[in-house]
Structure 1
Amino acid sequence: MNLYEKIVNREEKISLVGLGYVGMPIAVAFAKKADVIGFDVNKQKIELYKNGIDPTKEVGNEVIKNTTVDFTSDEARLREAKFHIVAVPTPVKDDHTPDLTPVESASRTLGRNLTKGSIVIFESTVYPGVTEDICVPILERESGLKCGVDFKVGYSPERINPGDKVHRLETIIKVVAGQDEQTLDTAAKVYELVVEAGVYKAASIKVAEAAKVIENSQRDINIAFMNELSIIFNKMDIDTKAVLEAAGTKWNFLNFSPGLVGGHCIGVDPYYLTYKAEQMGYHSQIILSGRKINDDMGKYVAESTVKKMIKANKQINGAKIAIFGVTFKENCPDVRNTKVVDVIKELEEYGVDVKVVDPQADKEDLWREYRINLCEIEDIKEMDAVIFAVPHDEFKAMQLEDVKMMFGPTGYVNLEAMNEVAATSEFDINIDRKDCVLMDLKGIFNRKEAEDTGFVYWRL
């Protein structure tokens, strides 16, 4: 009986090393078909999972409560599994070079607990060669085993889109690679247990690594083009969104829009590819140019906000600005590598008092990473400018009248309390919007309606 059959018959276990936005949904999916050990070094996170709490909001508390995943922070438990999936983050350092610390650490941990006959699949996004040239030697050194003889390795790039309830693990074709045909066949069959869309067998591990890193590099370049168009069209006093809607009527026009490009994938992966290219003696032209445009967008947004405030006769030093949304994307608690922080830092350089509202963001991660505290929406009042940076559903439900109140002494008041508040002397429905600066980065509100009612309106 081979390893795949033993997994199906629950005679062997699958382990997930790293239970974040990627690893945890994978663990939960496999637990429906096999015995799964979910390992993470973060003991606090493990306790949350054991108590039925999903801090990532990827699958929800109910799913976590009912899953059969055996959550643990005890690395020795990894010895119970024969099929290991490593799904840890691969960030970049301050100088934009790859930070392989998490994947190297995970390899050491797994290596100390690796047993003969195991298959190790890496899912972390890396440049071509990391799995075989960096991870394998660590696994061999820590385990005392020989790769290709005592254990095998493979690679299957993660394609989970945090916050996306449509494109999930089960519905996205899974690229799978193995160091030999037998490993590839076993890995493909194991993933086919949970991936309804099927698997694609890559020609080699390096091919699979390269495929992943160019997926996000391509998207990064396309968004950079949109951001550059936004800068150009703003100088021409042309609405970028209107231009894209018109151009989008052509069948082969690509549907991208300008915005802040952060997160742990699109804002990071291109640097992995260009780093490896530099090692091979080639300096990237297009990829790094696109990355520079996207990296500078936070500064551009802050400067554009200040310019609009000056036109509205606002005093900049000491001004109060509210920023709605701080996560790297909408409807997701993940704040890793969020470019909204660049906007905040740049505004603070001008002496601005910035208040941040985000019902989705992970408060603890936000404080630990950036030393930023969140405010309640009720605390947003007497603002000089309001920036909608991330289009969470909660923000899309707001009306221009809601925004208007944030510039007055009462602040935002929900519709249920509107009549009661309107009866008091504190509420002023006639707030002058001629000096109300509304920066709507992703076009949540209707531009014409905002301008017709007097807002100083701007969007990318």
Structure 2
Amino acid sequence: MKRNLLDKIENKQITVGVVGLGYVGLPLAVEKAKAGYKTIGFDVQAEKVDMVNKGQNYIGDVVDSDLSDLVEKGLLSATSDFSFMKDVDFIAICVPTPLDEYQQPDVSYLKASSQEIAKYLTKETMVVLESTTYPGTTEELIKPILENGSGLVCGEDFYLGFSPERVDPGNAIYKTKNTPKVVGAIGEDATEVIAAMYEAVLDGEVIKVSSPAIAEMEKILENTYRNVNIGLINELAMLSNKMGINLWEVIDAAKSKPYGFQAFYPGPGLGGHCIPLDPYYLSWKAREFGFHTSMIESSMMVNDRMPEYCTERASKILNRDRKALNGSRILVLGVAYKQDIEDFRESPAIRVIEELEKEGADVVYYDPFVPEYRENGVIKKGEADLTAELLSSADLVIVTTAHSNVDYAFVQQHSKAIFDTKNALKEIKLRENIELL
């Protein structure tokens, strides 16, 4: 099986299936197709399937012309019919792995996808999970579903592994194509073949590890590392405010050290699919072993509280002008979870808006990348333009995303008061109406 698959990879005779055509799956499908492998994208959302088949792009990290050219050449197509899975040789699972209402892993998408794959799984197929999850998922959850549903044996009839996605939306340097890839599979042959498939497509180094659990834990480490350090900085931001110290200046001074320090910055909370969620996966799994991840859980508590803390700070700023938060008009600048992208998944800015509205504030927002968003089934529309009238009408402007295409000098000029949670106005010299997080 190994030799046959390696030959098919080399001769571009592999048909690729990508399950889940979101921020991870669609860029991966495009890169597989660009490398010359016929690729089929699978998604339960008919809208995404239709857009892909029409060559219409909806992901910022995918080049529009790449997608349309690949569809036109017949190298890339999409479907909601999982029976086409019987025609593929390599399957990448890129479905969401959210948290449920109790902050525990919701693996329903993983289960549903694996069950569908199992119905049509054939011999000599490679299956790779890319969705971020807790250590043990590949072997404890996915493997039994595939074996029981297909009647095939992992390692003998098909190969199974884990290769964590490393997608940073909006990153101008590192995309799917050139980011190093970690691969851990069940058995040495599986690791070799799956790594060869990625090596044939990507420019980044492919790092082989000894098991799926190693690769799963590696991904959790990446994002927990950031969560913990951001939690530290957010806590120091709260302390520095009480002490009258500008933490942003402190960080700039500290990062002058050429070794032993990496700069992290405070903010209104954590956003995106990975950093706010992944530590919960690890802490949940740790309890199975009677272990509490105290440092991780502490950082999560700090980061989760930041939207409430920002609301408290906003109230204090208004109090200085003898205004109550209840009834005040607040303009929030930015609802994307990071600058210069349209992605608002888990955005702390949305949490800030919710907290402000709970206190009775009249909240409007402007985001040049996110004209509207849906939260809890409700669509909230942003302001069309950032005008002097809009700025001056607000009792307080809160900067929650530091988009680079916003004229912050204009913002400062026309705003009564500004609460800058991202240090977006750092170049502005006149700072009488600006307060930093």
**CA distance in 2 between partners of 1:73 and 1:143 (Å):** 20
**CA distance in 2 between partners of 1:112 and 1:121 (Å):** 16
Give the stretch that moved more between structures: 367-376 or 48-57: 367-376
> Within 5 A, what are the aligned runs for 1:433-448?
436-446=416-426
* Of 382, 386, 403, the match for 1:374: 382
**Alpha-carbon contact 2:371-2:381 (below 8 Å) kept:** no
Shift in CA distance, 15/122, structure 1 to aligned 2, threshold 3 Å: same
Which residue in the other structure is 1:424 paired with?
Answer: none
Shift in CA distance, 227/47, structure 1 to aligned 2, threshold 3 Å: same
**CA distance in 1 between partners of 2:183 and 2:273 (Å):** 21
SS in 2 for 1:377: coil
* Of 46, 49, 55, the match for 1:46: 49
**Alpha-carbon contact 2:231-2:302 (below 8 Å) kept:** yes
* Deviation at residue 60 of structure 1 after TM alignment: 3.1
* Of 391, 399, 406, the match for 2:402: 391
**Alpha-carbon contact 1:400-1:450 (below 8 Å) kept:** no
- Does residue 2 of the first structure (1) align with residue 13 of the second (2)? no
- Does residue 119 of the first structure (1) align with residue 122 of the second (2)? no
**CA distance in 1 between partners of 2:47 and 2:243 (Å):** 51
Which residue in the other structure is 1:66 paired with?
Answer: 69
* Of 56, 60, 84, the match for 1:77: 84
Which residue in the other structure is 1:19 paired with?
Answer: 21
Which residue in the other structure is 2:334 paired with?
Answer: 325
Shift in CA distance, 343/18, structure 1 to aligned 2, threshold 3 Å: same
TM-score normalised by the chain length of structure 2 = 0.93
**Alpha-carbon contact 2:41-2:76 (below 8 Å) kept:** yes
Q: Identity percentage over the alignment?
A: 35
**Alpha-carbon contact 1:12-1:82 (below 8 Å) kept:** yes
* Of 251, 261, 264, the match for 1:256: 264
**Alpha-carbon contact 2:409-2:428 (below 8 Å) kept:** no
* Deviation at residue 76 of structure 1 after TM alignment: 1.4
* Unaligned runs of at least 5 residues, structure 2: none
* Deviation at residue 447 of structure 1 after TM alignment: 6.8
* Deviation at residue 327 of structure 1 after TM alignment: 1.6
- Does residue 195 of the first structure (1) align with residue 202 of the second (2)? yes
Match of 1:376, as an amino acid? A
Shift in CA distance, 392/49, structure 1 to aligned 2, threshold 3 Å: farther
Deviations 1:61-104 (A, max 9, x none): 22221223222222112211011111112111122111111111
Deviations 1:125-164 (A, max 9, x none): 1111111111111112322322222222011111111121
Which residue in the other structure is 1:28 paired with?
Answer: 30
* Deviation at residue 209 of structure 1 after TM alignment: 0.7
**CA distance in 2 between partners of 1:185 and 1:447 (Å):** 51
**CA distance in 1 between partners of 2:156 and 2:427 (Å):** 64
**CA distance in 2 between partners of 1:331 and 1:271 (Å):** 27
Match of 1:244, as an amino acid? I
SS in 2 for 1:282: coil
* Deviation at residue 450 of structure 1 after TM alignment: 3.5
* Deviation at residue 175 of structure 1 after TM alignment: 0.5
Shift in CA distance, 235/135, structure 1 to aligned 2, threshold 3 Å: same
* Deviation at residue 378 of structure 1 after TM alignment: 4.7
Shift in CA distance, 278/305, structure 1 to aligned 2, threshold 3 Å: same
**CA distance in 2 between partners of 1:80 and 1:186 (Å):** 19
Match of 1:443, as an amino acid? N
* Deviation at residue 114 of structure 1 after TM alignment: 1.0
Match of 2:402, as an amino acid? P
